[in-house]
A and B are shown apart, each in its own frame.
Chain A
Amino acid sequence: MLQLSLSLPKEDPLITMHRDLARTRREQIPPTWVMVIDLSKCIGCHACTLACATENNLPPGVVYRPVIEEEVGKYPNVGRRFLPRPCMHCQNPPCVPVCPVHATWKDDEGTVVIDYTKCIGCRFCLKACPYGARTSDFGENYANGTPELPGTLVGRNQIERGYARKTAPEYDKDWGDRRRASPVGNARKCHFCLHRVHNGQLPSCVTSCIGRATFFGNINDPKALVHRLVGSARTTRLKEHLGTDPHVYYLS
């Protein structure tokens, strides 16, 4: 019993990671944000996918962090694996050099970002990403196909006013109502919730993870939790042979 209690975490990793974020800001440690996902703790609840979609008001057909499910083995020895797949924020991102108009780049914090006002919507970057981490915003709307019922609480106009045309302040910018303007027509992807991180908050996929399987922090901070986790022998990355040097690590 004593052994079990000693093996339990001493504090919620969320608190540890919040403290790490605060230290980066306080001590002005140049950040390079990384994410660590412990696959043995992921239970495939998809809460991170939904939290991300809610945080970023993602329209139908746009997803930043799907969770890939895989069945392994043969009956009676079967199991399921779950692989959350955010943007890898590669050190050598193949999606960046193919952009013909400098609309996407790797910023000073190691995050691959997109300027929606520059993107021409050629979708070259979607094809260039070996992880399929970019999706195109085709202008879908949750109110599509909903009939208008005047005088009632439901109906297309109500839905559009309520939430379907709302956009999130991605990249710390107000994008107005969803109509024909950006981000509609653009490439979109996970941006590590920079609008939250810049305000001392963790990305929404991290805070929503009920298994505490997702970790986030500054790899340049040796005291940070992610720094310790990345040093684990269990660490692996997706398609490492491509030389993209992803900033998302998996603990297998």
Chain B
Amino acid sequence: MAAAVAPNRIVVIVAVGGLVLGAWGIMEALLYGTHATGLTSYVPWGLGVALYLTFLGFSAGGLPLALATTVFEKHEYEPLAGMVAWTVVVTELCAGLAIALDLGHMERMYRFLTSPAFTSPMAWMFVFFNALLLVYFLKIWAILKQNENHIRLLTYASIPIALLFYGTNGYIFGTLTYLPIWGGPLVPFYFIVAALMAGTALMCFLSWAFNYAPRLTIGVGYGVLALILLLVLLEFLMGITIINAGDSANHQALWAILFGRDAWVFWALHGGVGIILPIFFILRRSAAMAAWGSLCVMISFLATRWIFVIPPQSVPPLIGLDHAFIHERLAVHYTPLLGEWLIVLFVASLAMLALSLGPRLLPGLFHHGGSHV
């Protein structure tokens, strides 16, 4: 059971500062739309998409907890349920904000409701996004009401919805079979594993930050470790398959990730901060170390998404197309503008503020120690 914690004043000040600074980026996005980005027609998905996928990953913490407490009957993790439900709602809403700001016409998002095309993975993503959000809103309500039956029912419901939701995000990329790295049946599974890793890491860090029992933090930390290793294995398998398959576009894209201009993102941020450091920290078998290791995973998760989303787009769909008509909006290289980074700052600050204020806003979520999941 968690002890009561007041929001850390420094965290709140930093978050409010980030919101104030980041508001500039939000204003630019609202006023100028995609004109305020460094996107191009050949790299039309950039930092906004990477940010969306990052927060989506953070929201996946509910899935391993639901699996642990139901399928694997690890009931000792049940006290985390309220905190995780709050985390899922906050991070999913942040993800929604990130992707809405990335649209050329966000005012037309209502069309997902009025004329959805279910041939599109994106329409399904919208469905599962809202379904998962609804389930966790209801779960928060059920936890606050201490309705054990509803909590159990919603936990079971959340498992297939979450699997479909995180899988659907990979499905969006996986269906683009003409595109190097992105296309392929392994990609949805890769997305689920990556999301689970990030979500579990956030859960681990928050369980330490909110003073839950250290054994819980250490246990979740081992979950993070297992998922890191699974992600590394998947990345290795994808890489070695590409190398040996001999498709030139895939080779080019893989080389762009490993040795291109964003190679430092792969090696230093993803490999160093996102894999090696967390493994080192988590193996120290201390709650604080597990939390710090998880923090490394969280910080570097934007890099993990970046290397999947951005460098593969540097391969033009037709050889020479990028030189056929020269304009900065028709380049195959992308550098985010300041406004895009400010949106990252805003969304991250918003999440930080909402998560740190959670125990004060909804103390019932963070103190409930019943036998629910």
Is B329 a contact of A99 with CB atoms below 8 Å? no
- Residues of A contacting B320 with CB < 8 Å? 68-70, 83
Judge if B215 is at the interface, Cβ distance under 8 Å: no
- 105-156 of chain B: CB within 8 A of chain A: 105-106, 108-109, 111-112, 115-117, 119-123, 126
Selected contact of B318 from candidates A60, A98, A132, CB within 8 Å: A132
Judge if B236 is at the interface, Cβ distance under 8 Å: no
- 44-77 of chain B: CB within 8 A of chain A: 44-45
Selected contact of A85 from candidates B115, B324, B329, CB within 8 Å: B324
Is B120 a contact of A99 with CB atoms below 8 Å? yes
Is A98 a contact of B120 with CB atoms below 8 Å? yes
- Residues of A contacting B111 with CB < 8 Å? 101, 103, 118, 120
- Residues of B contacting A138 with CB < 8 Å? 34-35, 37, 39, 329
Judge if B9 is at the interface, Cβ distance under 8 Å: no
Q: How far is the CB of A244 from chain B (nearest CB, A)?
A: 9
Q: Give Cα A122–Cα B324 distance, bound, in whole angstroms.
A: 25
Determine chain B's interface SS by DSSP, over half rule.
loop
Is A61 a contact of B120 with CB atoms below 8 Å? no
Q: How far is the CB of A98 from chain B (nearest CB, A)?
A: 5
Q: A138-B34, A182-B105, A184-B33 are in contact. Are A126 and B44 (CB under 8 A)?
A: yes
Considering only CB atoms, which chain B residue lies closest to A117 in the complex?
B108
Judge if B175 is at the interface, Cβ distance under 8 Å: yes
Is A66 a contact of B104 with CB atoms below 8 Å? no
Q: What 1/0 mask marks residues of chain A from 121 to 144 whose CB sits below 8 Å from any chain B CB?
A: 111101111111011111110000
Judge if B261 is at the interface, Cβ distance under 8 Å: no
Is A123 a contact of B104 with CB atoms below 8 Å? yes
Selected contact of B44 from candidates A69, A85, A127, CB within 8 Å: A127
Judge if B277 is at the interface, Cβ distance under 8 Å: no
- Residues of A contacting B160 with CB < 8 Å? none
- Residues of B contacting A60 with CB < 8 Å? 327, 329
Selected contact of B325 from candidates A49, A123, A137, CB within 8 Å: A49
Considering only CB atoms, which chain A residue lies closest to B173 in the complex?
A127
Is B324 a contact of A101 with CB atoms below 8 Å? no
- Residues of A contacting B276 with CB < 8 Å? none
Other 17 A-B pairs with CB < 8 A, given A119-B105, A128-B176? A61-B330, A63-B330, A68-B320, A85-B321, A100-B126, A101-B108, A102-B117, A119-B108, A123-B104, A124-B172, A129-B317, A130-B178, A135-B329, A138-B39, A139-B32, A180-B33, A238-B318
